[in-house]
């Protein structure tokens, strides 16, 4: 498992990545992150929804409601905005530099 402290600064990046292919809702995003990481990272629900609030406030995602036809439940969906795509690209570049720097301090013992 990855410590939430280690990955905290990249939760937004993970969520935006999940929205690159299209709109989705919270549980599905969380499940897909868990599956993609082979259960090495499980994003807590509070972390996920705090990130949604922050990303939406900054204009990186938009939320909207969609009725689930069979159950009649209203679910909140999210989609990435053009600004969110730009932010995602910035965070990817930042990660490359972060990796370079941290790798300078990693050695097999």
Phi, psi for residue 58 in degrees, rounded to 5: -85, 0
Comparing C-alpha atoms, which of 50, 70, 52 is closest to residue 60? 52
Tell me the average pLDDT across 54-61: 98
Geometric angle at alpha carbon 43, from 41 and 48, rounded to 5°: 155
83-95 pLDDT per residue, tens: 999 999 999 999 9
Residues 7 and 64: their CA atoms lie apart, in Å, by: 27
| pLDDT at residue 72 greater than cutoff 80 | no
Dihedral, CA of residue 26, residue 28, residue 34 and residue 38, to nearest 10: -170
**pTM assigned to the model:** 0.89
Instruction: Output 101 or 70, whichever has higher pLDDT.
Output: 101
């Amino acid at each position: 498992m990855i410590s939430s402290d280690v990955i905290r600064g990249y939760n937004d990046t993970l969520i935006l990545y999940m929205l690159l292919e299209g709109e989705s809702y919270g549980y599905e995003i969380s499940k897909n992150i868990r599956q993609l990481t082979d259960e090495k990272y499980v994003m807590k629900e509070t972390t996920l929804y705090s990130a949604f609030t922050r990303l939406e406030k900054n204009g990186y995602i938009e939320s909207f409601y969609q009725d689930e036809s069979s159950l009649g439940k209203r679910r909140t969906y999210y989609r990435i905005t053009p600004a969110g795509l730009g932010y995602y690209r910035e965070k990817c570049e930042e990660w490359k530099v972060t990796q370079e720097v941290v790798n300078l301090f990693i050695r097999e013992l």
